[in-house]
Structure 1
Amino acid sequence: MSETDEPAWAPPGVDPQRPNVARVHDALLGGTENFAADRSVARKLKDTVPEVVDLLWCHRAFVGRVVDFLVREAGIRQIVDLGAGLPTIENTHEVAQFADRACKVVYVDVDPTVEPHARALLGANPHAGAITADARDLDAVLGHPVLRGLIDLSQPTAIMAIGLLHLLPDQEDPHALVRRYMSALPPGSYLAAANMLAFPSPKAKALEVMLQATMGAGFFRDRAAITAFFDGLVLVEPGVVHFPEWHPDERVPGPLAPWEELLLGGVARKP
């Protein structure tokens, strides 16, 4: 698909002229579920930071390791994936259900284009669902009939906020939002969260400026602010670290690449 071609679909309420985070990610990863405006932003991001595609794959690998830990080691069987984005390889439900077929997963995204594609991917999967909702509206998310039909909120549940928090400015108090989600869940629940790290490099600043200029989102935070998302919870070792350093499949080989230093996250349990 060229930068000017358009797919022959556009769900109601979707403005093809306005770039969207989920579709820009799809364009960067070589997908086809995006519009010209999304591909234009993707091209600008690659021009500014050519390593941005590597950064996205690093993000996907982190999600996979986190989900595998939650199921195999933490014993979690219910996951709510906030700001899930468009389906790609090794989705949350695939990793979770590979470890235990009974795991239940609900994808949440504000973009109406995500839900139909997620549903197509899920097919007749009885233990996974997708909803269109704004993650900032906790009641709309946790009260959604699809989520309520799959997730028993009286039982330990994992909240995934790995691709969400850097989209929210400080004025919207994302820390309070995280606290509200965790307050709604019982002890033994988990939070997996991450944010782009404010890093003193020209490329990091250029990426942040580009994201905010083109998407109106992309709020990098310092280590203290990212660690504060886990206040009141018990961090899983090794704590809040760069993505490649969190439970790596193999030993981290030497210094991180500059783009790997932009990603910081962790996992914590509600006591």
Structure 2
Amino acid sequence: MTDEQLRDPLALPPEVDTSVPSVARIYDYAVGGKDNFRVDRDATHAMLDGVPDIIATARANRAFLGRGVRYLAREAGIRQFIDFGSGLPTQLNVHQVAQAENPDGRVVYVDNDPVVLAHGRALLSEDQRTTVIQADMAQPTAVLESPATRRLINFAEPVGVLYLSVLHCLPDEARPDLAVAAMLDAVPAGSHLMMSHLVSDDADAAEFLTRFMTEQTTWGRVRTEAEVTAYFDGLDAVEPGLVDITRWRPEQQPTDTGTPFDHDIPSRPELEGKIWEFGGIARKP
């Protein structure tokens, strides 16, 4: 799809600068989506010079979303979800997975990208159990007090709180730890935190990706497994615990993972493994 073809169906808000990459659109391209611009595709390919496995990592995260949300809806009995940094609707969306298990599943998508808001509202206009709101995930009070959130989410019942490959977009000064803690304080016992986060023990690779993304768009940093583990303090981890997400119940991958990727971005296997997604699911006792 050309950039010109993309603009019309999206009815892009005037504040969208299509000359600057967007994290949401970069991720959309990485997982095989079509709602991105040349600047996003160029940025994605440029990342491969320093982190050649980043595309496989993004696609592994999308698969983790499917396995994790299916677990929450089927085994944990979660019927309502708040998905932070949801990105553009693409393959294996939260509401599709959740509602396949329970047609009454309700989902609030949260993103600060106006393209996500415009596109999501158009796609979800006829689904009264799902909505998308434009908000900063570092400011959970706005999400909690939103009329759209209050319409769909009953905070007397357990909630699935999702941060999938998004908290590395927040710099330390935005205090992502406090944002997550505030959300967990707002939901009752039996709620679950599902999270994945880019991590690395290779300082050069982490510095490259952090610098590259910071130069391209608003971003935070690659963190360590220990830093991500701290988000789960006080929660009861679901087996197999906090791991490289490719090892989180891989045998439970849904058979229908959406439409196939319509483009292939090669990686160089001999350089892979420097950065990965780390996380899991845990229950609030």
Structure 1 length-normalised TM: 0.89
Aligned ranges 1:172-211 → 2 under 5 Å: 172-200=174-202, 202-211=204-213
The one-letter code of the counterpart of 1:7 is R
Q: 2:48 aligns with which of 46, 49, 53?
A: 46
Aligned ranges 1:233-244 → 2 under 5 Å: 233-244=235-246
Question: Per-residue CA shift, 1:207-257, capped at 9, x if unaligned?
Answer: 333222222415111111110000111111111100111111269xxxxx9
Deviation, structure 1 residue 266: 1.2
Partner residue in 2 for 1:268: 282
Identity %: 39
Q: Quick check: 2:106–2:129 contact (8 Å CA) kept in 1?
A: yes
Give the SS at the match of 1:207. helix
Aligned length: 266
Q: 1:258 aligns with which of 272, 277, 280?
A: 272
Q: Residues 5 and 87 from structure 1, CA distance in 2 versus in 1: closer, same or farther, beyond 3 angstroms?
A: closer
Question: Per-residue CA shift, 1:51-108, capped at 9, x if unaligned?
Answer: 3222111010011111011111111111000000001111000000111111111111
Q: Residues 224 and 131 from structure 1, CA distance in 2 versus in 1: closer, same or farther, beyond 3 angstroms?
A: same
The one-letter code of the counterpart of 2:173 is Q
The higher-RCO structure (CA 8 Å, 6+ apart) is 2
Partner residue in 1 for 2:7: 7
Structure 2 length-normalised TM: 0.85
Distance 2:51 2:5 in 1: 24
Partner residue in 2 for 1:254: none
Give the SS at the match of 1:113. helix
Distance 2:120 2:3 in 1: 24
Distance 2:5 2:121 in 1: 25
Q: Residues 202 and 250 from structure 1, CA distance in 2 versus in 1: closer, same or farther, beyond 3 angstroms?
A: farther
Deviation, structure 1 residue 269: 0.9
The one-letter code of the counterpart of 2:189 is P
Partner residue in 1 for 2:145: 143
Unaligned runs of 5+ in 1: 252-256
Distance 2:240 2:218 in 1: 32
Does 1:71 find its partner at 2:85?
Answer: no
Q: Residues 41 and 147 from structure 1, CA distance in 2 versus in 1: closer, same or farther, beyond 3 angstroms?
A: same
Unaligned runs of 5+ in 2: 254-270
Deviation, structure 1 residue 33: 2.1
